[in-house]
Chain A
Amino acid sequence: MRHRRSRRARREALFAWLLGAPVILWLGATLVYPLVASMIYSVENIRIIGSPGAFVGLSNYVAILTDPDFWMAFLRSLIWVVGNSVAQVFLAFISALILAQAFPGVRIARIWIILTWIVPTIVIVIVWRWLLSTSGGMINPLLMELGIIDSPIGFFSTSVSAMATLVLINSWRWFPFIAVMLLAGIQRIPGDLYEAATVDGVSGFQQFRHITMPLLQPTIFVLTIIGTLLSFNVFDIVWLLTGGGPADATTTLPILIYRTAFKGYRLSEAAAMSVVATVVLMGFALLAVRTLAPSREDK
């Protein structure tokens, strides 16, 4: 009996590996292998993609780590990530609390709030370039009508406003995604907790503070970590709206890596930057995976 059961388990395991094999091979070839290749590139001196370079040890790392441009981009990425997290979680929280209520049309609202997330980034780029433009556009006339500004402002023309505008646009795109996840967290809180609290005369705000907030904390934590990684990766919105400018003010790490590789043709330096970024991000990711993966009990 024991022998038969273990044979069955072994066959099940074999079948499972067989089903998983295509995914493992696919991701191995297109993620793991390139990552290893990146590490190799980073200790070589490659000028043309596809042709091997000479081994140069850690000199590429020395070059980038002593380059102020790299550290500035690193710092901007940090600002970018933190700014996005704050704006997204704030907007998402309000939305999730509203969508958790019962009102006519709530089911439709819960689905279509995700609209800004499913629309291609190129559309978002066109939309906001036009809305914020100084000729035509909608935002400048609106702000002038409201008396907030006197003459049209160029949202992308100064360093601070360019960064802030990009953060807001990217957050506008991503907050519904976070909101939907938060909503799921809110809906998982047992309703009888609130009922009991209401019977005990606890006010709505106190219920929010002592029931909703503590029980949502794990969800918020996970979303913040995922949000951090996903924000870091954002390339297209920044590249297509400002190209990293004005005067490099929005050159985050992905922009710098792209420019170093495909405009400056310093491929090995770009690879070294990629490796450094990966190491930093994987530190975060390890944390995220610990909380995301199914815990042992429920498997």
Chain B
Amino acid sequence: MRRGIVGNLLLAGGLGFIAVIVLLPFWWVISSSIKQTSEIISITPTMVPHSFTLAHFDKLLRSSDFPRFLANSLIVAAGAMAITVVLAALAGYAFFRLKFPGQGLLYRLILVGYAFPGIVVLVPLYGMMSAAHLIDSLLALIIIDVTFALPFAIWMMRAFLVAVPSEVEEAARLDGASHMTVLTRIIVPMIAPGLASVAIFAFVSSWTEYLFASVLIQSDAHKTLPVGLAGIIGQYQVDWGLMLAGATLTTVPVVILFAFIGRYFVTGLTTGAVK
């Protein structure tokens, strides 16, 4: 489609607007995390830092529990990610490459799980975890994070699994390969980008989870970043520098991960929507 001058101006304006609302808040936070406190709380804010200090990061890493929260979050997110990828790949293969009775109904039921309100099962899950002696354990968080990542993860697998030509599979089957061999040797390598996007989804949703972590974890030693940082906010009500440094460091891991597999992730998100 050709655009006139007006069209180009509109496009540039709109693009500028989106860029500002998406990026500017992050720029303010990241750039302010290296400002001295006096500049952070000054009434005339600065777009570009006039002062420079790493004191906030130093305080965060040396004299707060942030490193421990970070380690806990990494453990939980990595665990939830690994389990989700394996389970979603297996179930995805069954749903989108095989035929079995009850397929449609089961898929629908799992999809309902995607929008299922976590708050509704919070009390019984707390009871179950307490009966299983998993209160204050990172394992409990891994289990629950997998639960809430799985439905969407399976849905995301669809785009990638449907794209594998059935001839490839049939040829292998004719050569006498079993279903399992076809899955592990042929399908898995072909859907690697799909697995990567499921991985990042599971990682991100676990990384951000607050509700269950706030109820199931009780000791500081096992807190994850969201709960830990929320505690720090309460403790140091006015130490914006510390909080901005915390926000910056919490964002970094997901952004790094996203820089590598963001492309596949957005593909999975959008092509999965193809009906």
Q: Which bucket holds chain B's interface residue count?
A: 35 or more
Bound Cα distance from A116 to B210, whole angstroms: 17
- Contact string against A for B residues 251-275, beta-carbon threshold 8 Å, 1 for contact and 0 otherwise: 1001100100011011001110111
Instruction: Write out the residue numbers on chain B whose beta carbons fall within 8 Å of the beta carbon of A254.
Output: 117, 119
Question: Does A249 belong to the interface (CB within 8 Å)?
Answer: no
Bound Cα distance from A122 to B147, whole angstroms: 21
Point out the residue from A118, A130, A177, A185 that lies within 8 Å of B258, measured CB to CB: A118
Instruction: Write out the residue numbers on chain B whose beta carbons fall within 8 Å of the beta carbon of A278.
Output: 117, 120
Instruction: Write out the residue numbers on chain A whose beta carbons fall within 8 Å of the beta carbon of B117.
Output: 229, 232-233, 254, 274, 277-278, 281
A22 touches B91 (CB 8 A): yes
B11 touches A103 (CB 8 A): yes
B150 touches A141 (CB 8 A): no
Q: Which bucket holds chain A's interface residue count?
A: 35 or more
B229 touches A26 (CB 8 A): no
User: Which A residues between 149 and 181 are near B, CB-CB below 8 angstroms?
Assistant: 172, 176-177, 180-181
Instruction: Write out the residue numbers on chain A whose beta carbons fall within 8 Å of the beta carbon of B21.
Output: 172
Instruction: Write out the residue numbers on chain A whose beta carbons fall within 8 Å of the beta carbon of B87.
Output: 22-23, 26
B121 touches A34 (CB 8 A): yes
Instruction: Write out the residue numbers on chain B whose beta carbons fall within 8 Å of the beta carbon of A38.
Output: 120-121, 123-124
Point out the residue from B26, B146, B226, B275 that lies within 8 Å of A26, measured CB to CB: B146
Asked, given contacts A20-B95, A118-B254, whether A236 binds B211 with beta carbons under 8 Å apart, the answer is yes
Instruction: Write out the residue numbers on chain A whose beta carbons fall within 8 Å of the beta carbon of B127.
Output: 37, 49-50
Question: Does A16 belong to the interface (CB within 8 Å)?
Answer: yes
B-to-A contact residues, CB < 8 Å: 1, 3, 7, 11, 14-15, 17-18, 21-23, 25-26, 28-29, 32, 40-45, 87-88, 90-91, 93-95, 98-101, 103-104, 106-108, 110-128, 130-131, 143-144, 146-147, 150-151, 154, 158, 179-180, 183, 200, 204, 207-208, 210-211, 215, 225-226, 229-230, 233, 238, 240, 243-244, 246-247, 250-251, 254-255, 258, 262-263, 265-266, 269-271, 273-275
Closest 8 CB pairs of A and B: A229-B115, A184-B270, A34-B124, A37-B124, A13-B100, A34-B121, A136-B41, A16-B100
A-to-B contact residues, CB < 8 Å: 9, 12-13, 15-17, 19-20, 22-24, 26-27, 30-31, 33-35, 37-38, 41, 49-50, 94-95, 97-98, 101, 103, 109-116, 118-123, 125-131, 133, 135-138, 141-142, 172, 176-177, 180-181, 183-185, 187-188, 194, 198, 204, 218-219, 226, 229-230, 232-233, 235-236, 239-240, 253-254, 257-258, 261-262, 267, 270-271, 274-275, 277-278, 281-282, 285, 288-289, 292-296, 298-299
